[in-house]
Structure 1
């Protein structure tokens, strides 16, 4: 786990991820749905790590073993707390108490379905070490949100909309659900929360009133409505994706990336484009892409797990799959697919080729229609093309095979053996010419067709 240093008391995060997510109507658990190519739950964990939380506990339900497995794979078994059965948000946080045993510091409670909330949005809750702090936001449409009642600079109450007076309903400052408090204070207050309500659940929001009665300072800090947006349905997932993409586009434009039609470009959470990159319309960046300055990504290209060097040209209609590594000034053209291959400086594959599990030397030329035949049905094998080699159009290179430096393959060849440096390899059938055959054939078939029409 990557943590970031900070001053002040130790920090921990409790991430609530035990909801059923039934409104998503999906076989995939809600918190594992991606935004920017990354599970919403991972966005929440990223924020906790960036805050410097030394302990992160994810509260999961028994109905989603996939969520538990996801957390264990990233954070380990110690990060798991089980809520069974679900009895409200207050109960969910209490389920994390054992996992936080011995922790003496501040605890922040966040949510696995709030993917746009970043560390810098959450950080202000830690500024008052002894206080119970709640993140609020100014709602465009307060509707059914709980209202934050603030008096004299302190948070006086969180009032649910269905229980609010007309005066409180007029308040536009709403509750995000994210809060922080000293661990000891938080769990002492949660022990006092009752479930005398319509749903018979233990509500986290009740700790505000209980805290005020116990003399605990209570305060609200503000974030944007977009940052605290929760996702409960597919339409909201699409809205969160759109907001995420806008931030990415604005970030890259400000960095100096040229995009004539930014609204048509789709980014992942970890896309890394240097200043001076040009991205033409309708490009998709999957996770794990890094592009160096001066490179041009042309329209309708799709990339993931790939590195593109300075002044390289990719596309249009190119696909870079995981493990594709393009050095400086490489040209990968239309309908070329590169997977797990290193393409050396100045090498070119401009048309209709598949380069899988290969090594292409500097300034080599890969002709149109070339295939690296890398898979034998069980294992993958490597193709090596040497520096300055010329692979003729429509060549099939059957791996494992090496084309030497400066060597050539004749167009239409099937190459099954290594080609020495500087040599020419021909691997195609001998051409046979039969004079007059085509004319006689066409005459015969035309006459046959005519006879069928009678």
Structure 2
């Protein structure tokens, strides 16, 4: 089998992004655009990948890591100049080298695979991934001969009036015979409007040598979109969003309003789950069958069990069991576990806590650094007082206990099984099992005193 290599062009500064963030690290649905490129192209089983970066792009190198070798383009002198930087790594290789721009996150593995296969089948020295559009302004035009063979690519700024009418455009993605590529790069010049070394000029060099140049036309123009500014970034995000949502719906997920549902690439959703409008699912989240998420919920890096419901709430880095009801307006913070059949109601915050099977924290409560057993009822307004300004402490509420409304549980403290805490109590000591704990001031009524106060105010 022919050896396969890839060169990822990621050295562009992206000045039109007007951002301090390196261009190819701008996220598309939560994942840096260059990561989309790498994830898709890796799937075609490459023998080696080389990423071209500019000096100072340490964050790009750190993010990509061991997936690629790296070379530095000291000066931004064009795409041809960028590929030349990979020569020391690839010059002795035999096989096919694909050149891909790091700002084209929408090209699919299927398209990369088809391009490789077309190139190898044709036995070409170069194959251009092209597409057609009614609005080709700004793109390099693919100029063909009278016999429909690719003659050259002309950049928009260098094209004459007739060439600008051509609708077939260069996407910036190519396959080359590796040896032919680096040999031809030595013959290109920067005699053009930009004063740069264009990679497409390699095509004309190869044609001049009577070597075969082919083109593979993808029918999906949107797939080839390159990101140059915030507008095209938003456009790519919209396309990616619809692509991902469509995949889930084809797999049996009910997405009520795909236009207003955001699902990141790593999310797993099982059939018959229901996703309502305004929902954002991110990270390594898994939603099991028959779960119902939203409307207007955020779920990040969570496991959500079957038949659970999360309404108008935020959950992160936590495990949600089966038949759980969360919300509206609940906040499940990291390292929490909501066990089967539990309920976390409106305006409840859970942080680094376990809510046991069948337990209820129905409204207006904070459970932080807590271990709550099974079948516990936590009354409205209850707080685990877990922080003394320096350290966090654990509150334990054992099975079948009942915590009255507006109670303060001063950690570290344990409420024993089958116990009751009276409403309005501030608990500072452990409560034994099967006990009633009352920790509040004795009520005193002064009859007629309110009348005296009113009379004083009127004097």
Same fold at TM > 0.5: yes
Q: Could you say what secondary structure the match of 1:136 adopts?
A: strand
Residue from 443, 447, 456 that aligns with 1:432: 443
Q: Could you say what secondary structure the match of 1:226 adopts?
A: helix
Match of 1:329 in 2: 323
Residue from 66, 77, 88 that aligns with 1:75: 66
Q: Using structure 1 for the length normalisation, give the TM-score.
A: 0.88
Residue from 149, 161, 185 that aligns with 1:154: 149
| 2:163 is the alignment partner of 1:173 | no
Q: Could you say what secondary structure the match of 1:59 adopts?
A: strand
* Residues in 2 aligned to 1:281 and 1:106: alpha-carbon distance in whole angstroms: 45
Match of 1:235 in 2: 231
Query: Mapping of 1:210-359 within 5 angstroms?
Result: 210-223=205-218, 224-315=220-311, 317-321=312-316, 323-339=317-333, 340-359=335-354
Shift of 1:183: 1.7
Q: 1:438 to 1:203 in 2, by over 3 A?
A: farther
Q: Could you say what secondary structure the match of 1:26 adopts?
A: coil
Q: Could you say what secondary structure the match of 2:262 adopts?
A: coil
Q: Could you say what secondary structure the match of 1:418 adopts?
A: strand
- Per mean C-alpha deviation after superposition, the further-off stretch among 429-438 and 291-300 is 429-438
| 2:369 is the alignment partner of 1:369 | no
* Residues in 2 aligned to 1:259 and 1:443: alpha-carbon distance in whole angstroms: 61
| Structure 2 runs not aligned, ≥5 long | 387-392, 427-439
Q: Deviations over 1:80-131 (max 9, x none)?
A: 1100012110110111122336543211111111111121122222113242
Residue from 379, 389, 393 that aligns with 2:376: 389
Structure 1 moving runs of 4+ over 4 Å:
none
* Residues in 2 aligned to 1:236 and 1:280: alpha-carbon distance in whole angstroms: 27
Q: 1:328 to 1:107 in 2, by over 3 A?
A: same
Q: 1:250 to 1:441 in 2, by over 3 A?
A: farther
Superposed CA RMSD in Å reads: 2.1
* Residues in 2 aligned to 1:373 and 1:117: alpha-carbon distance in whole angstroms: 45
| 2:46 is the alignment partner of 1:49 | no
* Residues in 2 aligned to 1:87 and 1:147: alpha-carbon distance in whole angstroms: 21
Q: Deviations over 1:242-267 (max 9, x none)?
A: 11122223222322222332212122
Match of 2:195 in 1: 200
The answer to whether the 8 A contact 2:91-2:179 is kept is: no
Q: 1:87 to 1:389 in 2, by over 3 A?
A: same
Residue from 122, 127, 145 that aligns with 2:139: 145
Q: Deviations over 1:306-345 (max 9, x none)?
A: 1111110001x20011x21111111111121112211111
Shift of 1:61: 0.7
Query: Mapping of 1:83-122 within 5 angstroms?
Result: 83-100=73-90, 102-122=92-112
The answer to whether the 8 A contact 2:355-2:371 is kept is: yes
- Per mean C-alpha deviation after superposition, the further-off stretch among 217-226 and 281-290 is 281-290
* Residues in 1 aligned to 2:455 and 2:186: alpha-carbon distance in whole angstroms: 96
Shift of 1:437: 6.6
* Residues in 1 aligned to 2:92 and 2:405: alpha-carbon distance in whole angstroms: 71
Q: Deviations over 1:38-68 (max 9, x none)?
A: 1111111111211212322111111433323
Q: 1:37 to 1:87 in 2, by over 3 A?
A: same
The answer to whether the 8 A contact 1:10-1:106 is kept is: yes
| Structure 1 runs not aligned, ≥5 long | 1-7, 375-382, 449-454
* Residues in 2 aligned to 1:150 and 1:110: alpha-carbon distance in whole angstroms: 22
Q: Could you say what secondary structure the match of 2:174 adopts?
A: strand
Shift of 1:167: 4.1
Q: Deviations over 1:251-295 (max 9, x none)?
A: 223222223322121222222222211122211222222211101
Match of 2:434 in 1: none
Q: Could you say what secondary structure the match of 1:133 adopts?
A: strand
* Residues in 1 aligned to 2:113 and 2:268: alpha-carbon distance in whole angstroms: 25
Match of 1:124 in 2: 114
